[in-house]
Amino acid sequence: MNIETRGLGAGSYPDAPDIEEYTGPVCSKCGDPRELHDLREVDGELMCRWCLEDYYLDNCRDEYWGFIETPEQQYEFAVKHWFSELEPQEQARIALEAFQREFSSPFPQRQNLRDEIIRDYVEQGKSDFADYIESKAELRIKRGAA
């Protein structure tokens, strides 16, 4: 196999074109070149948006709770992020504790509302509730006969 190099000489390569070295602003964390308006100076360092997000996440932990301030954010955090990751038994325990605490006031209006909510739930499964009551009655009868 005969390869012609046509005047370049065997084994020679053309010189790489001169590329001007970038001298504009760069992110001090990742080193990526950016336009100045895409960088923000924090603690004396210029950072791009991505590095700034990581910087804030690592260095502003005392602000986490302040971020969860609106009802929408509280719902997003408490229900969708944290609560949904719990085991069903743990969800039930926490929800029932909250329910009991919510309706623990001695005011009759709150107690009536609590009773209505419970009745609505039991009414949806009234056949199962009847079976439950009968099984308790049978248990009492058996205990009384012993």
- Which pLDDT score, from 0 to 100, does residue 85 have? 96
Residues 146, 110 within the same domain: yes
- Which pLDDT score, from 0 to 100, does residue 19 have? 73
Question: Do the beta carbons of residue 48 and residue 29 sit within 8 Å?
Answer: yes
Q: Read off the CATH number of the domain in which 44 is found.
A: 3.30.60
Question: 2 in a domain, yes or no?
Answer: no
Question: 17 in a domain, yes or no?
Answer: no
Domain count, the chain: 3
Which residue numbers in the chain have pLDDT < 50? Answer: none
- Which pLDDT score, from 0 to 100, does residue 30 have? 92
Written as one letter, the residue type at 47 is M
Residues 98, 110 within the same domain: no
Q: Residue 137 — φ and ψ, nearest 5°? A: -65, -40
3 state DSSP class of 128: helix
- Identify the domain containing residue 85 by its residue range: 65-102
3 state DSSP class of 33: strand
- Which pLDDT score, from 0 to 100, does residue 136 have? 85
Residues 110, 97 within the same domain: no
Question: 45 in a domain, yes or no?
Answer: yes
- Which pLDDT score, from 0 to 100, does residue 16 have? 67
Question: 126 in a domain, yes or no?
Answer: yes
Question: 3 in a domain, yes or no?
Answer: no
Helix (H) or strand (E) holding 132: helix 126-145
Question: Strands, DSSP E only, in 16-122?
Answer: 40-42, 45-47
Question: 38 in a domain, yes or no?
Answer: yes
Question: Strands, DSSP E only, in 22-104?
Answer: 40-42, 45-47
DSSP symbol at 26: B
Tokens of 108: 């009759």
Residues 92, 110 within the same domain: no
Give the CB-side neighbour count of residue 13, counting CA atoms within 13 A.
Answer: 3
Question: 6 in a domain, yes or no?
Answer: no
Tokens 């229900």 -> residue? 79
Residues 115, 91 within the same domain: no
Please give the span between the terminal C-alpha atoms of the chain, in angstroms, as a whole number. 107
- Which pLDDT score, from 0 to 100, does residue 11 have? 60
